[in-house]
Structure 1
Amino acid sequence: MVRPSSPPSFRLKAVLVLVAVVAFVVSPIWSPSFKGYDPTQFPNPVDAPAIQPAGWAFSIWSLIYLWLVAHALWGLLRHNDDAGWDRTRLPLLLSTGLGASWLVVATSMPWLATLQIWLMWALALWAMMRARDAGQPALCAGPIGLYTGWLTAASAVGTGVVLIGYNIGSEITVTLLMLCVVAAISLAIVLLARPPRTFAIAVIWALIGVIAANWGDGVVMLPASIFALALAAVAWRDLLPKAQAVGR
């Protein structure tokens, strides 16, 4: 049986996704060094805002980058005619395309970078929702879920840093507010949308980073820990009956 050729639009979008993802991955090369917003960019400079995870937590970007490249390559080479995969391409293309310029924007206009990362998140969420039924979750929904989960936390963190930097609320108030935003959004998505578990893993990783950065400060550690445990319980709730059955 001869396999039907893929629509030209499918192939074109698959190529464009690969180009956008690669541009996103290599963007640190042509962008200024970025290790968080420079405190001097704000009227109220804070060296280490409480909402910001420990530096090592950002290493998750290496996995996100590699997995997105694998997704784009596999999608082009093996799924360029797959309608399920194609449904994820437009939002992922737009999200990673915006991501390719995010570092440049962040080093000069933090408030605009905040708006940009929320738009990246919304587009990534759209792609993740479309990826749930695409097949081969390890290479389709998995990487998009990890990317979306991290953007969920990163968007709130970036917003918190900007609010603190512009004196719109105290550091603790803004930190607790943004932790609640992360918890509310991620729990709602997990409960209502049943995303890939990589989504929850990324959010929990970010919360662990916040806990580590605020070690010893119960005001931040306690809610961050509760939110991380709650998200884990909800994301893996379907395993509980199986575990109980094995125990019997």
Structure 2
Amino acid sequence: MNSTLTRQLFVTASFVFCVVGTLFGIGVIGTRVEESSGGALAADATLLAPAVRAFSIWSVIYLGLLAYTVWQWLPIAQRSARTRDIWWLAGVSMILNAVWLLVTQVGWIWPSVGVIAVLVVVLGRLVARLTRERASSTAELIVVDGTFGLYLGWVSIATAANITAALVQSGVSFGSLDPVVAAIVLAVAAGIGVLLAVRLGGRFAVAGALSWGLVWIAVGRLTDSPASALTGWAAVAAAAIVLGSAAWIRFGRRAALS
């Protein structure tokens, strides 16, 4: 079996496993994520849980992963050095996504934190590799850079929500200071967004998905329970910082140097 076919089969098998995990996560053959782990991951479980509509971004990400899986079988993909550079990271990211969903099925909230943390690292390395060289076509830019940029941005904010859910389920509480702590975590998330913008050249897919999660945290805290104006407006500010830093790195810094 040649190396190209090995890459293609690994990515395809990883996508299939990802789909199986998703069927568990949406309740087709298992328990929906928001109902698993004792409800710790529900949209109203913690101050940093995004509102329900935020999770619609997964439809776009999964569609992108399907498109990437198909694309990497095409001859045009084999002419791209980036294909050979990221295939195993792409496959591992899909496997980890399925593992996270399966781990939450059995209520292992802290192991799920470990899985999503590794997933963030894998996606960070993948997108960093994409940054080394420009996409060879518009299709590659959308299917590869767009998909994994959204994936990284969303999982980055989901990690903060996952850690918070694990802490709350473990009985950790700061009482009246919970909103303050949540605002601090959101400030850290904004800092991570700025760091990603600097390291990855201001990728709007990454910043957009991260900001999407932050905005829906704001919507959840300002319109639903648990209500917290401080957390909600801190999330709005964090989203603005993330998008603003990406725009500055992409356009402002370039204009300043020209």
Q: TM-score band (shorter)?
A: 0.7 to 0.9
Which residues of 2 match residues 77-226 of structure 1 at below 5 A?
Answer: 77-78=74-75, 79-107=77-105, 108-132=107-131, 133=133, 135=135, 136-170=140-174, 171-194=178-201, 196-215=203-222, 217-226=228-237
One-letter amino acid matched to 2:86: T
Number of aligned positions between the proteins? 236
Structure 1 residue 30, shift from structure 2 partner = 4.1
Which residue does the alignment assign to 1:27? 21
Distance 1:137 1:182 in 2: 26
TM score, norm. by length of structure 1: 0.85
The 1:241–1:190 alpha-carbon spacing in structure 2 relative to 1, beyond 3 Å, is: closer
Which range is displaced more, 187-196 or 66-75? 187-196
C-alpha offsets along residues 86-144 of structure 1, whole Å, 9 cap, x if unaligned? 11111121121121222120132000011101101110111111122251311211101
Give the Cα–Cα distance (whole angstroms) in 1 for the partners of residues 39 and 179 of structure 2: 20
CA gap of 1:49–1:105, structure 2 versus 1, over 3 A, is same
**5+ unaligned residues in a row in structure 2: which ranges?**
none
Q: How far, CA to CA, are the matches of 2:44 and 2:128 in structure 1?
A: 37
Query: Which one-letter code corresponds to 2:50 in the other structure?
Result: P
Amino acid at match of 1:29: L
Is structure 2 residue 68 aligned with structure 1 residue 74? no
Aligned partners of 2:123 and 2:151 also within 8 Å: yes
Instruction: Identify which of 16, 19, 27 aligns with 2:10.
Output: 16
Higher relative helix content: 2
Q: Residue in 2 aligned with 1:246?
A: none
Give the unaligned 5+ runs of structure 1: 1-6, 244-248
Q: Could you report, residue by residue, the CA deviation over 1:126-177 in whole angstroms, capped at 9, with x for unpaired residues?
A: 1111122251311211101100111101111100111122123434354234
2:244 to 233, 236, 241: 233
Q: What RMSD, in angstroms, separates the aligned Cα atoms of the two structures?
A: 2.6
Per the TM alignment, residue 211 of structure 1 is displaced from its structure 2 partner at its CA by: 0.5
Deviation at 1:37, TM superposition (A): 6.0
Contact 2:99 2:115 in 1 (8 A): no
